[in-house]
Chains A and B, each alone.
Chain A
Amino acid sequence: DTAVSQTPKYLVTQMGNDKSIKCEQNLGHDTMYWYKQDSKKFLKIMFSYNNKELIINETVPNRFSPKSPDKAHLNLHINSLELGDSAVYFCASSQDLRTSGTQSLNYEQYFGPGTRLTVT
């Protein structure tokens, strides 16, 4: 009954390779996100999708391409991996406050367990 799941949890690969991280949520949320946590633990948004539509792309290199086949899934594909891509990547999901027209008292972004990517 995991709410937000990510696979794999660990990923070790060489520079130049292409890899994907998968994310699935079973909460019925409209919005999904990818965050990156660097080696200093700083968390920053990369992308957000609402109903399969890209809403935010925070100046992420073109080598990163999110894909949302449906509302419950948001995958992250990374081409030509670089050493600097090593980080923990978190998927998250939430309700969309604006579609309801009212403020949710319980707004929260639910995070997956994270994927530690190591590029060697």
Chain B
Amino acid sequence: AQTVTQSQPEMSVQEAETVTLSCTYDTSESNYYLFWYKQPPSRQMILVIRQEAYKQQNATENRFSVNFQKAAKSFSLKISDSQLGDTAMYFCAFIDYYNTDKLIFGTGTRLQVFP
């Protein structure tokens, strides 16, 4: 079965600092997508960044970047220059290209950014 594990239930960081959220996954497939979703207190699910497994280059979106280690099945999210608005739950998610009908989510990491 495909699983996603987030081992950090809670993290905190000071404003302007950098923080890394961890995610590992398990799959026997070779073609898949990985995502980080943000859920602020408003509860809206917002896509932060996506990574296609066939791409070796790590995805980046402004202050957000990932460290994708396919062999190790690891997909961490780095947030640079943290802002108060980054305070939210962050979910790592996986989807198999050939069975693209469900996102499999990790249990989430609650990130608190302090002034």
Q: Say yes or no for B97: interface residue by CB 8 A criterion.
A: yes
Within 8 Å of chain A (Cβ to Cβ): is B91?
A: yes
Which A residues fall within an 8 A CB radius of B? Answer: 31, 33, 35, 40-45, 48, 50, 55-56, 58, 88, 90, 92, 94, 96-98, 103, 105-109, 111, 113-114, 116
**26 sample A-B contacts, Cβ–Cβ < 8 Å, listed by A number:** A33-B102, A35-B103, A41-B39, A41-B107, A41-B108, A42-B105, A43-B103, A43-B105, A43-B108, A45-B102, A45-B103, A55-B101, A56-B101, A56-B102, A58-B102, A90-B45, A92-B45, A97-B100, A98-B100, A103-B54, A107-B33, A107-B95, A107-B100, A108-B50, A109-B103, A113-B42
Chain A's closest residue to B102 (CB) is A45
A-B contact count, CB below 8 Å?
62
Sorting the interface of chain B by its residue count into under 10, 10 to 19, 20 to 34 or 35 or more gives 20 to 34
Contact B97 A97 (CB under 8 A): yes
Is B84 in the interface zone, CB < 8 Å from A? no
Nearest opposing residue in chain B for A35, CB measure: B103
B15 in contact (CB, < 8 A) = no
Q: Mark B7-47, 1 if CB is under 8 A from A, else 0.
A: 00000000000000000000000010101000100111101
Contact of B105 among A33, A44, A48, A106 (CB under 8 A): A44
Tell me if B52 is interfacial: C-beta within 8 Å of chain A: yes
